[in-house]
Structure 1
Amino acid sequence: MQTQTILLIIAAVVIALTIALFQYVYKARNKKKNILFLALLRFLSLFTLLLLIINPAFKQNTYYIEKPTLVVAIDNSSSIKYLNKDQNVKNITSQIRKNEKLNDRFNIVYYTFSDKLKDSISLTFDKTQTNISKALDELDQIYKNTTAPILMITDGNQTYGKDYQFGSSKYKQSVYPVIVGDTISILDTKIEQLNVNRYAYLKNKLPVETILTYSGKEDINTIFQIKSGTNIVFSQQVLFSEQKKSNIINVTLPANSVGVNQYMAILTPLDTEKNTINNTKTFAVEVIDQKTNVLLISDIVHPDLGAIKKSIESNERRSVTIIKPNEKKDFNDYQLIVLYQPNTRYRQVYEDLNAQKKNHFTITGPKTDWVFLNKIQNKYTQEITRQTEHYLPKFNNNYGAFLLEDIGFNNYPPLLGTFGETRLNTSHDPILYKTIGNIETDEVLLTTIEQNGIREAVLFGEGLWRWRAQNYLDTQGFNEFDEFFGKLVQYLASNKRKSRLNTIAESFYYGNANIAIKAEYFTKNYEFDRRGSLRITLKNKETEASQTIPMLLKNNTYDVDLSNLKAGNYEYTVTVLGENITRSGDFKILEYNVEQQFLNADVTKLKHVATNTKGKVYYLNQKDAVIKELLEDKRYQAIQKNKENVVSLLDWKYLLILLILLLTIEWFVRKYNGLI
């Protein structure tokens, strides 16, 4: 308590005592026996009132015991069930939950993981993907400021994601893997990996790379085949030995028919093999008879050029050619022309564009000659200032020309553009707006224009390479930026008229992938309509079974998740209720379960994780040992903590009750003695 507050309390005592003595002793006419009692009551009531006015604060200490957290993370993928260990995992989980000593020592929290981490203990063992690295990373972030050892019950088999054994050295928590599955090496041949492009072009060669592996010591030979339907399109004898445990086979297949061509790779299994599922792998290739060619024209060398080329060509159906404005090219060979920072050397380029009515994408920046650009076209103008400005992007959620999603533009670095007012002189559809510092503006940074059947986009700033790099920093990949840029290129390279209902689906999916179909629905003015009620009807072509599923609104799309569908050929129809609008298509789901490719637990990686995090490896039959280890480890002790609260006297309601009580007693005593 502060010195000033103590002095005020002393002053309150003096004032209350002075007033009480003055009223009941000094001025009293009849000094009865109870006069001192009344003076005491008056003193206490006045002092209480003054104390409430002063309102001193007191520190209140609360002591409590904080137990360490024990994180139990359980592998919920289908590989656990395939290895016939699902009941064992349920049993050890149940024993942990019922162990009184463990629950007294720790605050136990349960998670399941597969492709995602979930704070749930619902064990179904039906998930088709496993990302152990992601689960460990997220747990490390959740409990980075606490003591929380991780008991991970898993077979250690990961189907995608970063290699978790190398990233484990940075984890702050100790990891105790409980290994599920066989640890003894079993004789097995398998198709370890098959690499093939998703698309091929008609009359081209289709390269296929297959990696075959063998676990055993004897010399064996078997046959590797690739079938298309019942036809064998490739066959080769394969030899394995103790010294040669892998083979890489490269083959090129002809792409002679347009559409989705399905193949099956088969490595003939040995008679003694237990797991023959990993000896076959189905794959497909979509053969197309055309390619989107993009011409990128630039008079300068800039990192943006490489970023644009890589982003567009991340889709194998597109190619980019880079030239200078004075080089001659037939624009009819290209579906889209990209103009990077035009200047006076682009005069002939613009004349050819206008003559041939070609779609184009203009990217401006500090090197752009705006005096020339303002004169050569009339759709937009830029104030001439000879100064530059940095513009941050803000995504327009109401963009409706085609389907786009915000990929995190709020975190992206600024583009460098020309300072001054930008005016659009025609109807346009903004994708991004300019933000200067913390000030959001209604000036466009990226927009699309559709006029007289010609599609155009304009970006008022350079620095796309920084955006692509930022996407890698955020997601460890370029996929989101490349997909965003690819959709813009796809829109610009097409001359199709707008439709009020569009669907987005792949021609085929692998059985282990997330299968989703999206739709976009527009009003008659081609504005995205959130009021629509969309349904998708699916029909299996082989079984004739059909089902109708509502599509859910998500951002600016209507989505449906079809990941639970079985392998087969499907056709679909999307319908808008109350409108005579439908869109149809078809797709294939290829039979493949990556979780069934594993025969053994990955002991080596799990041991590395335990060593790197100062944990220890256990097996399912050592559940008592791991519980004992956790109970006896001195690092996991309950900690007594102190919580200090500053409590105001006004918050103490009993003091107000005391004041009322004192005044009430004084009134009754005075009334009884005839002093009122």
Structure 2
Amino acid sequence: MQIETILLIIAAFVIALVIALFQYIYKAKNRKKNSLFFAFLRFLSVFSLLLLLINPTFKQKTYYVEKPDLIVAVDNSSSIKNLRQDQSVIKFINQIKENEELNDRFDLVYYSFAGKLKDSLDLSFDQKQTNISKALEELDQIYKNTIAPTIMITDGNQTYGKDYQFSSLGYKQAVYPVVSGDTTAVTDTKIQQLNVNRYAYLKNKFPVEAILTYSGQENVTTTFQVTSGNGVVYSQPITFSQQSNSAVVSFTLPASRAGVIKYIARLVPLTNEKNTVNNDKNFAVEVIDQKTNVLLISDIVHPDLGAIKKSVESNERRSISISKPQEVKDLDDYQLVILYQPNTRFRKVYEDLNTLKKNYFTIAGTKTDWVFLNKIQNKYTQEITRQTEYYIPRFNTNYSTFLLEDIGFENYPPLIGTFGDISINTNHDPLLYRTISNIETDEVLITAIEENGVREAVLFGEGIWRWRAQNYLDSQGFEDFDDFFGKLIQYLASNKRKSRLNTISESFYYGNANISIKAEYFTKNYEFDRRGNLRISVKNKETEATQTIPMLLKNNSYEVDLSSLSAGNYEYTVTVLGENISRSGSFAILEYDVEQQFLNADVTKLKQVATNTNGKSFHLNQNEALIKELTEDQRYQTIQKSKENVVSLIDWKYLLVIVILLLSIEWFARKYNGLI
């Protein structure tokens, strides 16, 4: 207590005493024998009130005992159940809970972990991923300022994340791994890894690579095979020995039909093999039919036709046919039609294109009938001059319809076109501008137009065969020009239309991967709308079970996590509440549980973790040894601590009660004696 406070208390004592004596001794006309009693009551009440005003503080010290924490972290992954250790783990935990000696020495805190750390023991042993390293990192953050030895009950089998035997070097607590699982080596063959692309093109072959392993001492022979449906599509005998305990099998499979094709890779189990789950792996490939058929219609013979044909067919997934306008039969067989220098003979072709709403590419030149072309369509017009002009290309750096790079167009030979102004009467995106006699103009040479869902590109000049030849002179190859022309063809051949709602999903997912479906929702001006209320309805095709889930806004898309779904075939529909808009799709989930691939506990890594953290490893049947180790370890002592609190007198509520009581006694006593 400070000196100023002591002096104030002395002053309060004197003031209270003076007031009491003045009122009941000095000022009193007739002193009675109980005047001293009244003075004493007044002194106590006044002194108490003055103490409340001064409000002195007092230090209060309390003592308590703090026990060290003992963390019990239990592996909740399905590999515990697959190794038939789930009941043994539960029994071990109950023995820890019921041990009085441990509970007297430690505050026990229980956690479970698999892919994530949870502060509870809701054990189901059905989690399909294990990340021991992440569990240790999170525990280290929680108990970084305390003493908390850690009992980790696990088989040591981790499916993803950092290698915990090295990351445990930074763990500040002693770890006592309790090994759950058989440590005896058994004979086993398994498919260690399967490498395959997700996509393949129709009528092509796609590569598959399988890494096979064997643990055992005898020489064995088995068979590796791949099946699809009820048929075997690949088979090969495999021989293993103690020295030659792995094999890499590389082969190709034909992509014979479009769509998602499911396969099962199988390494035929040995007769004495215990774990046969890791002998099978499911995989799938989506076969894409991306063959683009292009029709080139021309009424004249020109070197451009050969250059266009070679450029289009430089990609093996595209083919081109050349026909005269009067020979054209069915435009529906083609994804794109190229009209080379159209004239009046093209009238029926234009009528069919308008009826079918087919995308097309118009190339104009000196032989183009502009009187006909100006009448047959209303998107653009060319001034009729009957004169020609040379046009040097200039790349539009602001071109945005699709990704394209300048391949050095300004150094390319000029194209020949009709002299005169061009008027374009609709929205368009110029790809190349004209440069005439070294004068840069804003008139287009190539432009892209999209109107009413139909895409068209227009080239106002002939002679692009010179461009392809110039590309060869510059780079000893045609790749740059063919890539430029190929992107233009790809854009025009695409049937994709703008939609206010688009969904993004894979055709199939592996069971051990995160399964998410995204959606993009736009306003009527095709601006991303963050105000949408989207729902997705997912239906299992086999069980007919349906569930509806809201989609959450994440960055610039709406997303839903469907990782909880079991293996099977599904179809989904995304709808926007309040709008008559929906999109549907389908996907498959392939059965895969990486936790089933383990045969034994990883004792080596768990022992290394114990060494790294100054702990010690045990097995499930060594619970008494573990308890003895923990209770006798002098690093974990119960600590007596003190806590000092500063208490204000005004917080002592009984003083106010005393003041009220003193004033009440004084009033009643004076009333009784006739002084009031």
Task: Compute the TM-score of the two structures, normalised by the length of structure 2.
Answer: 0.67
Secondary structure of 2:32's match?
coil
Distance 1:610 1:259, change over 3 A: same
Q: What is the alpha-carbon distance in structure 2 between the residues aligned to residue 65 and residue 498 of structure 1?
A: 70
- What are the Cα deviations for residues 344-395 of structure 1, in whole angstroms up to 9, with x where unaligned? x99999xxxx985569xxxxxxxxxxxxxxxx9xxxxxxxxxxxxxxxxxxx
Question: Which residue number corresponds to residue 141 of structure 1?
Answer: 141
Measured in 2, the distance between the counterparts of 1:644 and 1:88 equals: 47
Structure 1 position 335 matched with structure 2 position 336: no
For 2:264, the aligned partner's letter is M
Equivalence for 1:215: 215
In structure 1, C-alpha distance between the alignment counterparts of 2:635 and 2:99, rounded to whole Å: 20
Asked if the contact 2:520–2:528 (Cα under 8 Å) also holds between the matched residues in 1, the reply is: no
Would the aligned equivalents of 1:157 and 1:602 in 2 still touch at CA under 8 Å? yes
Matched letter for residue 141 of structure 1: Q
C-alpha displacement of 1:500: 3.9
Q: What does residue 482 of structure 1 align with?
A: none
- Cα deviation, residue 576, structure 1: 4.5
Closer/same/farther in 2, CA of residues 630 and 36 from structure 1, 3 Å limit: same
Give CA deviations for 1:642-664 in whole Å, capped at 9, x if unaligned. 22222221111111111111111
CA distance, structure 1, for counterparts of residue 254 and residue 135 of structure 2: 42
Distance in 1, matches of 2:24 and 2:290, equals 109
Instruction: Measure the CA separation in 2 of the matches of 1:524 and 1:31.
Output: 100
Structure 1, residues 81-100: CA drift from partner, whole Å, max 9, x if none?
Answer: 11111111122222222223
Show the counterpart of 2:47. 47
Matches within 5 A, 1:241-260: 241-255=241-255, 257-260=257-260
Q: Partners in 2 of 1:259 and 1:284 — Cα distance?
A: 10
- Per-residue deviation at 1:243? 2.1
Query: C-alpha displacement at 1:561, in angstroms?
Result: 4.3
Q: How far apart are the structure 2 equivalents of 1:108 and 1:281? A: 42
In 2: Cα distance, 1:18 partner to 1:660 partner: 21
Question: How far did residue 176 of structure 1 move?
Answer: 1.2
1:12 aligns with 2:79: no
Query: Are the aligned partners of 1:523 and 1:529 in contact in 2 as well (CA < 8 Å)?
Result: no
Residue 277 of structure 1 pairs with residue 250 of structure 2: no
Aligned equivalent of 1:616: 616
Aligned partner of 1:512 in structure 2 is 512
SS at structure 1 position matched to 2:604: helix
CA distance in 2, matches of 1:637, 1:214: 49
How far does residue 55 in structure 1 lie from its aligned partner after superposition? 1.1
Residue of structure 2 in register with 1:532 after alignment: 533
The amino acid across from 2:149 in the alignment is: P
| 68-77 or 94-103, larger mean C-alpha shift | 94-103
Cα deviation 1:307-344 (Å, max 9, x = unaligned) = xxxxxxxxxxxxxxxxxxx99999999932489xxxxx
How far off its partner does 1:61 sit?
1.7
Q: Distance in 1 between matches of 2:142 and 2:451?
A: 51
Question: Closer, same or farther in 2 for the Cα pair 1:290/1:14, shift >3 Å?
Answer: farther
Give CA-to-partner distance per residue, 1:145-183, whole Å, 9 cap, x none.
Answer: 111111111111111111111100110111111111111
Deviation readout 1:571-613 (Å, 9 max, x if unpaired): 2223445653321111111121111111111111111111111
Residue 63 of structure 2 aligns with which residue? 63
Verify the 8 A CA contact 1:259 1:286 in the aligned structure 2. yes
Q: CA deviation at 1:521?
A: 5.0
Task: Give the direction of change, closer, same or farther, for the CA distance of 1:258–1:119 in structure 2 (3 Å limit).
Answer: same
Residue 31 of structure 1 deviates from its aligned partner by 2.5
2:137 aligned partner, one-letter code: D
Contact 1:534 1:558 in 2 (8 A): no
Counterpart Cα distance in 2 of 1:544 and 1:255? 30
Identity across the alignment (%): 66
Q: Does 1:549 align with 2:548?
A: yes
Residue 641 of structure 1 deviates from its aligned partner by: 1.7
Deviations 1:501-532 (A, max 9, x none): 33332211112223333445566676646573
Q: RMSD of aligned C-alpha atoms?
A: 3.7
User: Counterparts of 1:611 and 1:518 in 2: how far apart (Å)?
Assistant: 46
Partners of 1:126 and 1:347 in 2: CA distance: 64
- CA change 1:205–1:12 in 2 (3 A) is farther
User: Within 5 A, what are the aligned runs for 1:243-392?
Assistant: 243-255=243-255, 257-288=257-288, 335-337=402-404, 356-357=429-430
In the alignment, the residues of structure 1 paired with residue 238 and residue 650 of structure 2 have an alpha-carbon distance, to the nearest angstrom, of 87
Distance 1:652 1:75 in 2: 52
Secondary structure in structure 1 of the residue aligned to 2:271 = coil
On the 8 A contact 1:182/1:601 being kept in 2, the answer is yes
SS of structure 2 residue aligned to 1:157: coil
Q: CA shift at 1:560, angstroms?
A: 4.6
- Shift of residue 452 of structure 1? 12
Paired residues for 1:108-257 under 5 Å: 108-200=108-200, 206-255=206-255, 257=257
Stretch deviating more after TM superposition (107-116 or 220-229): 220-229
**Partners in 1 of 2:145 and 2:174 — Cα distance?**
13
- How far apart are residue 18 of structure 1 and its match? 2.1
Q: Structure 2: which amino acid aligns with 1:336?
A: L
Structure 2: 5+ residue stretches without partners: 292-392, 413-426, 433-441, 443-449, 454-493
- Cα distance, 1:35 vs. partner? 1.9
Counterpart of 1:563? 563
Give secondary structure in 2 for the equivalent of 1:30: coil
- Report the AA paired with residue 546 of structure 1: A
Match of 1:78 in 2: 78
Aligned length: 505
TM-score (norm 1): 0.67
Code of the aligned partner of 1:547: T
Judge conservation of contact 2:396–2:430 (CA < 8 Å) in 1.
Answer: no
Tell me: CA distance 1:119–1:358, structure 2 relative to 1, closer, same or farther (3 Å): farther
Give the CA deviation at 1:17.
1.8
Within 2, Cα distance between the matches of 1:156 and 1:327?
Answer: 64
Q: What are the superposed Cα offsets for residues 179-212 of structure 1, whole Å, 9 maximum, x if unpaired? A: 1111100011111122333344566664433322
Residue 37 of structure 2 aligns to which amino acid in structure 1? Answer: F
SS at match of 1:336: coil
Larger Rg: 2
Name the stretch that deviates more: 589-598 or 575-584.
575-584
Contact 1:216 1:242 (8 Å CA) reproduced: yes
Which residue number in structure 1 is paired with residue 100 of structure 2?
Answer: 100
Tell me, yes or no, if structure 1 residue 25 matches structure 2 residue 28.
no
Cα offset, 1:277, TM superposition = 1.2
- Cα distance, 1:36–1:552 mapped onto 2, change above 3 Å: farther
Report the residue type matching 1:550 in the other structure. I
User: 1: distance between equivalents of 2:281 and 2:217?
Assistant: 25
Cα 1:35–1:284, aligned 2, differ >3 Å: closer, same or farther?
same
Could you say what secondary structure the match of 2:621 adopts?
A: helix
- Residue 555 of structure 1 deviates from its aligned partner by 5.0
What is the identity, as a one-letter code, of the residue corresponding to 2:52?
L
How far apart, in 1, do the equivalents of 2:223 and 2:606 lie? Answer: 34
Residue deviations 1:517-551 (CA, integer Å, cap 9, x gap): 344556667664657362404131xx362323333
1:223–1:537 distance in 2 versus 1, CA, 3 Å: closer
Q: In the alignment, is the contact (CA less than 8 A) between 2:159 and 2:595 conserved in 1? A: yes
